[in-house]
Amino acid sequence: MKLLHLHSSFAPGGKEVRCVQLINAFGPGVEHSIVSAMSGAMGAAARIDPTITCHLDTPFPAMQGRPTPARLQAMAQAMRGFDLVLSYNFGAMDGVMAHTVFGRALDLPPLVHHEDGFNEDEAERLSTRRNWYRRLGLGRASALVVPSRRLEAIALGPWHQPPARVHRIGNGIVTGAYAGRPRRDALPRVIKRPGEKWLGTLAGLRAVKNLPRLVRAFAPLPPEWQLVILGQGPEAEAIRAEALRLGVAHRVHLPGHVGDPAKVVGLFDLFALSSDSEQFPISVVEAMAAGLAVASTDVGDVSAMLGPENRAFLAAPGDEPGLTAHIAALAADEGLRARLGGANRAIARAEFDEGAMVAAYRAVYAGALGLSSFP
Protein backbone atom coordinates (compact mmCIF):
# COMPACT_ATOMS: atom_id res chain seq x y z
CA MET A 1 0.00 0.00 0.00
CA LYS A 2 1.38 3.42 -1.00
CA LEU A 3 0.54 6.62 0.87
CA LEU A 4 1.35 10.15 -0.28
CA HIS A 5 1.74 12.78 2.49
CA LEU A 6 1.41 16.47 1.53
CA HIS A 7 2.86 18.81 4.19
CA SER A 8 3.53 22.53 4.20
CA SER A 9 6.62 21.62 6.24
CA PHE A 10 7.96 18.40 7.70
CA ALA A 11 10.16 20.15 10.25
CA PRO A 12 9.60 18.82 13.80
CA GLY A 13 6.27 19.98 15.22
CA GLY A 14 3.03 18.62 16.62
CA LYS A 15 1.38 17.40 13.42
CA GLU A 16 4.67 16.07 12.06
CA VAL A 17 5.39 14.11 15.24
CA ARG A 18 1.92 12.57 15.07
CA CYS A 19 2.42 11.71 11.40
CA VAL A 20 5.65 9.90 12.29
CA GLN A 21 3.87 8.07 15.14
CA LEU A 22 1.31 6.76 12.67
CA ILE A 23 3.89 5.86 10.04
CA ASN A 24 5.79 3.81 12.62
CA ALA A 25 2.60 2.22 13.96
CA PHE A 26 1.47 1.11 10.49
CA GLY A 27 4.74 -0.78 10.06
CA PRO A 28 6.71 -1.95 7.02
CA GLY A 29 3.63 -3.12 5.12
CA VAL A 30 2.92 0.50 4.08
CA GLU A 31 5.16 2.61 1.83
CA HIS A 32 5.22 6.38 2.36
CA SER A 33 6.15 9.32 0.14
CA ILE A 34 6.49 12.63 1.99
CA VAL A 35 6.33 16.04 0.32
CA SER A 36 7.26 19.28 2.09
CA ALA A 37 6.22 22.55 0.45
CA MET A 38 9.11 24.18 2.31
CA SER A 39 12.30 22.98 0.67
CA GLY A 40 14.59 21.08 3.01
CA ALA A 41 12.15 21.10 5.95
CA MET A 42 12.34 17.36 6.64
CA GLY A 43 13.71 17.20 10.20
CA ALA A 44 10.83 15.10 11.56
CA ALA A 45 11.81 12.24 9.24
CA ALA A 46 14.71 11.40 11.58
CA ARG A 47 12.19 9.76 13.92
CA ILE A 48 10.80 7.35 11.31
CA ASP A 49 11.59 3.67 11.93
CA PRO A 50 14.40 2.77 9.46
CA THR A 51 12.70 -0.54 8.61
CA ILE A 52 9.86 1.38 6.94
CA THR A 53 10.11 2.36 3.28
CA CYS A 54 9.83 6.14 3.20
CA HIS A 55 10.65 8.39 0.23
CA LEU A 56 11.65 11.93 1.19
CA ASP A 57 12.58 13.10 -2.30
CA THR A 58 9.23 12.48 -3.99
CA PRO A 59 8.92 14.68 -7.11
CA PHE A 60 5.89 16.95 -6.71
CA PRO A 61 4.90 20.32 -8.20
CA ALA A 62 5.23 23.39 -5.99
CA MET A 63 2.36 23.62 -3.49
CA GLN A 64 2.73 27.40 -3.16
CA GLY A 65 1.71 30.00 -5.73
CA ARG A 66 -1.40 30.98 -7.66
CA PRO A 67 -3.83 28.06 -7.98
CA THR A 68 -3.98 28.18 -11.77
CA PRO A 69 -5.65 25.29 -13.62
CA ALA A 70 -2.31 24.17 -15.05
CA ARG A 71 -0.65 24.07 -11.64
CA LEU A 72 -3.59 22.25 -10.03
CA GLN A 73 -3.64 19.71 -12.84
CA ALA A 74 0.09 19.08 -12.43
CA MET A 75 -0.41 18.38 -8.72
CA ALA A 76 -3.33 16.08 -9.46
CA GLN A 77 -1.26 14.14 -11.98
CA ALA A 78 1.42 13.65 -9.35
CA MET A 79 -1.11 11.94 -7.05
CA ARG A 80 -1.66 9.07 -9.47
CA GLY A 81 -0.16 5.73 -8.54
CA PHE A 82 -0.87 6.05 -4.82
CA ASP A 83 -3.55 4.27 -2.81
CA LEU A 84 -4.32 7.13 -0.41
CA VAL A 85 -3.43 10.83 -0.27
CA LEU A 86 -3.03 12.48 3.14
CA SER A 87 -2.87 16.28 3.27
CA TYR A 88 -2.09 18.50 6.25
CA ASN A 89 -3.17 22.06 7.11
CA PHE A 90 -3.83 25.04 4.87
CA GLY A 91 -0.33 24.89 3.41
CA ALA A 92 -1.41 21.78 1.49
CA MET A 93 -4.84 23.09 0.52
CA ASP A 94 -3.88 23.68 -3.12
CA GLY A 95 -3.21 19.95 -3.33
CA VAL A 96 -6.64 19.29 -1.84
CA MET A 97 -8.20 21.65 -4.40
CA ALA A 98 -6.34 19.88 -7.20
CA HIS A 99 -7.78 16.58 -6.00
CA THR A 100 -11.32 17.99 -5.96
CA VAL A 101 -11.08 19.63 -9.39
CA PHE A 102 -9.36 16.80 -11.26
CA GLY A 103 -9.96 13.76 -9.05
CA ARG A 104 -12.84 12.28 -10.99
CA ALA A 105 -11.31 12.86 -14.41
CA LEU A 106 -7.96 11.35 -13.43
CA ASP A 107 -9.43 8.60 -11.23
CA LEU A 108 -7.36 9.72 -8.26
CA PRO A 109 -7.11 7.78 -4.99
CA PRO A 110 -9.17 8.95 -1.99
CA LEU A 111 -7.89 11.90 0.05
CA VAL A 112 -8.05 12.48 3.80
CA HIS A 113 -7.27 16.01 4.98
CA HIS A 114 -5.96 16.92 8.47
CA GLU A 115 -6.30 20.35 10.10
CA ASP A 116 -4.33 20.96 13.28
CA GLY A 117 -4.62 24.69 13.90
CA PHE A 118 -3.61 28.13 12.75
CA ASN A 119 -0.56 30.35 12.49
CA GLU A 120 -0.46 33.86 13.90
CA ASP A 121 -2.41 35.24 10.92
CA GLU A 122 -5.53 33.34 12.05
CA ALA A 123 -4.82 33.11 15.78
CA GLU A 124 -7.54 35.64 16.67
CA ARG A 125 -9.82 35.68 13.64
CA LEU A 126 -10.41 33.21 10.83
CA SER A 127 -9.69 34.36 7.29
CA THR A 128 -12.90 34.62 5.25
CA ARG A 129 -10.94 33.93 2.07
CA ARG A 130 -9.40 30.80 3.52
CA ASN A 131 -12.76 29.63 4.87
CA TRP A 132 -14.20 29.80 1.36
CA TYR A 133 -11.17 28.05 -0.14
CA ARG A 134 -11.38 25.24 2.39
CA ARG A 135 -15.11 24.78 1.71
CA LEU A 136 -14.48 24.40 -2.01
CA GLY A 137 -11.26 22.42 -1.72
CA LEU A 138 -12.68 19.82 0.66
CA GLY A 139 -15.59 19.07 -1.66
CA ARG A 140 -14.34 15.59 -2.60
CA ALA A 141 -12.32 14.72 0.50
CA SER A 142 -13.24 11.37 2.01
CA ALA A 143 -12.63 12.67 5.54
CA LEU A 144 -11.45 15.69 7.50
CA VAL A 145 -9.60 14.89 10.73
CA VAL A 146 -9.24 17.48 13.51
CA PRO A 147 -7.76 17.04 17.02
CA SER A 148 -9.86 19.50 19.06
CA ARG A 149 -13.42 20.43 19.86
CA ARG A 150 -12.84 24.00 18.64
CA LEU A 151 -11.63 22.84 15.22
CA GLU A 152 -14.53 20.42 15.01
CA ALA A 153 -16.93 23.32 15.59
CA ILE A 154 -15.15 25.40 12.94
CA ALA A 155 -15.26 22.54 10.44
CA LEU A 156 -19.00 22.09 10.96
CA GLY A 157 -19.62 25.86 11.02
CA PRO A 158 -17.55 28.28 8.92
CA TRP A 159 -16.14 25.52 6.72
CA HIS A 160 -19.62 24.00 6.10
CA GLN A 161 -18.42 20.40 6.27
CA PRO A 162 -21.02 17.62 6.53
CA PRO A 163 -20.89 15.87 9.94
CA ALA A 164 -20.18 12.49 8.36
CA ARG A 165 -16.92 13.85 6.88
CA VAL A 166 -15.54 15.31 10.14
CA HIS A 167 -13.66 13.12 12.62
CA ARG A 168 -12.24 14.44 15.91
CA ILE A 169 -9.25 12.37 17.06
CA GLY A 170 -7.26 13.61 20.03
CA ASN A 171 -3.48 13.37 19.91
CA GLY A 172 -1.93 10.51 21.84
CA ILE A 173 1.50 9.40 23.03
CA VAL A 174 3.10 6.32 24.60
CA THR A 175 2.32 7.56 28.09
CA GLY A 176 4.28 4.81 29.85
CA ALA A 177 7.51 6.05 28.27
CA TYR A 178 7.31 9.21 30.40
CA ALA A 179 7.26 7.40 33.74
CA GLY A 180 11.03 7.17 34.20
CA ARG A 181 13.34 9.77 35.72
CA PRO A 182 15.65 11.24 33.05
CA ARG A 183 19.38 11.63 33.55
CA ARG A 184 20.49 15.13 34.47
CA ASP A 185 22.66 15.25 31.35
CA ALA A 186 19.97 13.98 28.98
CA LEU A 187 19.92 17.28 27.07
CA PRO A 188 22.72 18.48 24.82
CA ARG A 189 24.62 21.50 26.20
CA VAL A 190 22.40 21.83 29.30
CA ILE A 191 22.89 19.85 32.53
CA LYS A 192 20.46 20.09 35.41
CA ARG A 193 22.54 20.93 38.45
CA PRO A 194 21.67 20.14 42.10
CA GLY A 195 19.29 22.70 43.54
CA GLU A 196 18.05 23.94 40.16
CA LYS A 197 14.37 24.05 39.24
CA TRP A 198 13.34 24.02 35.59
CA LEU A 199 10.36 25.73 33.99
CA GLY A 200 10.10 24.00 30.63
CA THR A 201 8.20 23.92 27.38
CA LEU A 202 8.30 22.14 24.01
CA ALA A 203 7.34 24.14 20.94
CA GLY A 204 8.21 25.03 17.41
CA LEU A 205 9.86 28.43 17.79
CA ARG A 206 7.23 30.32 15.80
CA ALA A 207 5.53 33.64 16.46
CA VAL A 208 2.17 32.02 17.30
CA LYS A 209 3.84 30.28 20.28
CA ASN A 210 4.68 33.75 21.74
CA LEU A 211 7.74 32.50 23.59
CA PRO A 212 9.05 36.00 24.39
CA ARG A 213 5.91 36.22 26.56
CA LEU A 214 7.07 33.10 28.39
CA VAL A 215 10.50 34.68 28.95
CA ARG A 216 8.81 37.72 30.51
CA ALA A 217 6.58 35.54 32.70
CA PHE A 218 9.61 33.54 33.84
CA ALA A 219 11.88 36.51 34.57
CA PRO A 220 10.57 37.29 38.13
CA LEU A 221 11.17 33.72 39.40
CA PRO A 222 13.88 33.16 42.04
CA PRO A 223 17.43 32.57 40.76
CA GLU A 224 17.33 28.79 41.23
CA TRP A 225 14.76 28.59 38.42
CA GLN A 226 15.91 28.06 34.82
CA LEU A 227 13.79 28.32 31.67
CA VAL A 228 14.37 25.51 29.16
CA ILE A 229 12.68 25.84 25.75
CA LEU A 230 12.92 22.70 23.60
CA GLY A 231 12.38 23.20 19.87
CA GLN A 232 13.69 24.93 16.80
CA GLY A 233 12.38 27.62 14.49
CA PRO A 234 12.70 31.21 13.25
CA GLU A 235 11.90 32.90 16.60
CA ALA A 236 15.04 31.70 18.42
CA GLU A 237 16.82 35.05 18.14
CA ALA A 238 13.74 36.98 19.32
CA ILE A 239 13.61 34.75 22.41
CA ARG A 240 17.29 35.28 23.15
CA ALA A 241 16.93 39.03 22.62
CA GLU A 242 14.09 39.23 25.14
CA ALA A 243 16.12 37.24 27.67
CA LEU A 244 19.06 39.62 27.20
CA ARG A 245 16.81 42.66 27.56
CA LEU A 246 15.47 41.35 30.88
CA GLY A 247 18.86 40.31 32.21
CA VAL A 248 18.01 36.60 32.44
CA ALA A 249 19.88 35.28 29.41
CA HIS A 250 22.13 33.18 31.70
CA ARG A 251 19.01 31.37 32.95
CA VAL A 252 17.26 30.85 29.57
CA HIS A 253 18.33 27.81 27.54
CA LEU A 254 17.43 26.79 23.98
CA PRO A 255 19.00 23.36 23.41
CA GLY A 256 17.14 22.87 20.11
CA HIS A 257 14.93 20.05 18.91
CA VAL A 258 14.77 16.87 21.00
CA GLY A 259 14.15 13.64 19.11
CA ASP A 260 12.63 11.75 22.05
CA PRO A 261 10.82 14.06 24.51
CA ALA A 262 10.11 11.12 26.85
CA LYS A 263 13.81 11.11 27.77
CA VAL A 264 13.89 14.77 28.87
CA VAL A 265 10.45 16.15 29.84
CA GLY A 266 10.75 14.61 33.30
CA LEU A 267 13.63 17.01 34.01
CA PHE A 268 11.10 19.85 34.16
CA ASP A 269 9.65 20.84 37.53
CA LEU A 270 6.83 22.83 35.92
CA PHE A 271 5.51 23.03 32.36
CA ALA A 272 4.29 26.22 30.69
CA LEU A 273 2.57 27.07 27.42
CA SER A 274 2.41 30.69 26.22
CA SER A 275 0.77 30.28 22.79
CA ASP A 276 -1.71 32.65 21.19
CA SER A 277 -3.35 29.69 19.45
CA GLU A 278 -3.35 25.90 19.91
CA GLN A 279 -5.83 23.10 19.37
CA PHE A 280 -4.82 19.89 21.15
CA PRO A 281 -1.11 20.37 21.92
CA ILE A 282 0.91 17.17 22.18
CA SER A 283 3.37 19.00 24.42
CA VAL A 284 0.70 19.34 27.12
CA VAL A 285 -0.08 15.62 26.91
CA GLU A 286 3.66 14.90 27.24
CA ALA A 287 3.89 17.14 30.31
CA MET A 288 0.86 15.44 31.85
CA ALA A 289 2.27 11.97 31.21
CA ALA A 290 5.48 13.06 32.95
CA GLY A 291 3.46 14.06 36.02
CA LEU A 292 3.84 17.83 35.68
CA ALA A 293 1.62 20.69 36.68
CA VAL A 294 0.85 23.06 33.81
CA ALA A 295 0.59 26.85 33.60
CA SER A 296 -0.83 27.88 30.25
CA THR A 297 -2.79 30.27 28.15
CA ASP A 298 -6.38 29.07 27.83
CA VAL A 299 -6.23 28.04 24.18
CA GLY A 300 -7.79 25.20 22.21
CA ASP A 301 -8.71 22.17 24.29
CA VAL A 302 -6.10 22.74 27.02
CA SER A 303 -8.77 23.36 29.67
CA ALA A 304 -10.56 20.12 28.81
CA MET A 305 -7.30 18.18 28.83
CA LEU A 306 -6.08 19.12 32.30
CA GLY A 307 -7.26 17.94 35.68
CA PRO A 308 -9.98 20.10 37.30
CA GLU A 309 -7.67 21.68 39.91
CA ASN A 310 -5.03 22.54 37.31
CA ARG A 311 -7.57 24.50 35.25
CA ALA A 312 -7.31 27.34 37.76
CA PHE A 313 -3.83 28.06 36.36
CA LEU A 314 -4.94 29.02 32.85
CA ALA A 315 -4.82 32.62 31.65
CA ALA A 316 -6.53 34.25 28.69
CA PRO A 317 -4.09 34.50 25.74
CA GLY A 318 -3.73 38.26 26.18
CA ASP A 319 -3.47 38.14 29.98
CA GLU A 320 0.31 38.16 30.46
CA PRO A 321 0.13 39.26 34.12
CA GLY A 322 -2.23 36.34 34.77
CA LEU A 323 0.16 33.82 33.20
CA THR A 324 3.05 35.34 35.17
CA ALA A 325 1.09 35.02 38.42
CA HIS A 326 0.12 31.40 37.71
CA ILE A 327 3.73 30.43 36.99
CA ALA A 328 4.90 32.18 40.17
CA ALA A 329 2.23 30.48 42.32
CA LEU A 330 3.08 27.00 41.05
CA ALA A 331 6.82 27.61 41.26
CA ALA A 332 6.45 28.57 44.93
CA ASP A 333 4.47 25.48 45.99
CA GLU A 334 6.16 22.11 45.43
CA GLY A 335 3.33 20.19 47.10
CA LEU A 336 0.74 21.78 44.83
CA ARG A 337 2.83 20.97 41.77
CA ALA A 338 3.08 17.34 42.85
CA ARG A 339 -0.65 17.05 43.46
CA LEU A 340 -1.63 18.60 40.13
CA GLY A 341 1.01 16.59 38.29
CA GLY A 342 -0.22 13.32 39.75
CA ALA A 343 -3.77 14.04 38.63
CA ASN A 344 -2.59 15.05 35.15
CA ARG A 345 -0.57 11.85 34.78
CA ALA A 346 -3.60 9.71 35.64
CA ILE A 347 -5.70 11.53 33.02
CA ALA A 348 -3.01 11.17 30.35
CA ARG A 349 -2.73 7.43 30.91
CA ALA A 350 -6.49 6.93 30.88
CA GLU A 351 -7.42 9.18 27.95
CA PHE A 352 -4.44 10.15 25.79
CA ASP A 353 -2.46 6.99 25.16
CA GLU A 354 -1.20 6.35 21.63
CA GLY A 355 -3.07 3.07 21.18
CA ALA A 356 -6.51 4.69 21.03
CA MET A 357 -5.31 7.39 18.64
CA VAL A 358 -3.75 4.89 16.22
CA ALA A 359 -6.91 2.75 16.23
CA ALA A 360 -9.05 5.79 15.40
CA TYR A 361 -6.82 6.78 12.48
CA ARG A 362 -6.79 3.24 11.18
CA ALA A 363 -10.59 3.31 11.13
CA VAL A 364 -10.74 6.64 9.23
CA TYR A 365 -8.18 5.57 6.63
CA ALA A 366 -9.84 2.16 6.18
CA GLY A 367 -13.18 3.92 5.65
CA ALA A 368 -11.68 6.17 2.98
CA LEU A 369 -10.31 3.12 1.18
CA GLY A 370 -13.50 1.10 1.55
CA LEU A 371 -11.68 -1.54 3.61
CA SER A 372 -12.66 -3.29 6.81
CA SER A 373 -9.23 -2.67 8.35
CA PHE A 374 -6.02 -0.68 7.78
CA PRO A 375 -3.36 -1.41 6.76
185 and 298 both lie in a single domain: yes
pLDDT tens, 211-267? 999 999 999 999 999 999 999 999 999 999 999 999 999 999 999 988 889 999 999
55 and 25 both lie in a single domain: yes
Q: How much of the chain exceeds pLDDT 70, in percent?
A: 99
The reply to whether 374 falls in a domain is no
Instruction: Assign 39 a pLDDT band (cuts: 50, 70, 90).
Output: confident
114 and 231 both lie in a single domain: no
Number of H helices, E strands in the chain: 12, 13
74 and 143 both lie in a single domain: yes
The reply to whether 160 falls in a domain is yes
pLDDT tens, 293-315? 999 999 999 999 999 999 999 99
Query: Is residue 64 over pLDDT 90?
Result: no
Task: Indicate which CATH number applies to the domain containing 311.
Answer: 3.40.50.2000
328 and 202 both lie in a single domain: yes
> Hey, CA dihedral for 206, 151, 260, 57, is it positive or negative?
negative
234 and 342 both lie in a single domain: yes
Instruction: Assign 198 a pLDDT band (cuts: 50, 70, 90).
Output: very high
pLDDT tens, 42-60? 989 999 999 999 999 788 9
180 and 148 both lie in a single domain: no
Query: Is residue 190 over pLDDT 70?
Result: yes
The reply to whether 375 falls in a domain is no
Can you tell me the distance from the alpha carbon of 283 to that of 271, in angstroms, rounded to the nearest whole number?
Answer: 9
The reply to whether 97 falls in a domain is yes
Can you tell me the distance from the alpha carbon of 233 to that of 62, in angstroms, rounded to the nearest whole number?
Answer: 22
pLDDT tens, 100-130? 999 999 999 999 999 998 876 776 788 999 9
360 and 342 both lie in a single domain: no
Cα separations (Å) of 143 from 17, 22, 33, 361, 368? 21, 17, 20, 11, 7
> Residue 272's domain spans which residues?
175-351
113 and 254 both lie in a single domain: no
Q: How many domains does the chain have?
A: 2
Bridge partners of residue 315, in order along the sequence? 297
Q: What is the pTM (predicted TM-score) of this model?
A: 0.81
275 and 318 both lie in a single domain: yes
The reply to whether 259 falls in a domain is yes
135 and 273 both lie in a single domain: no
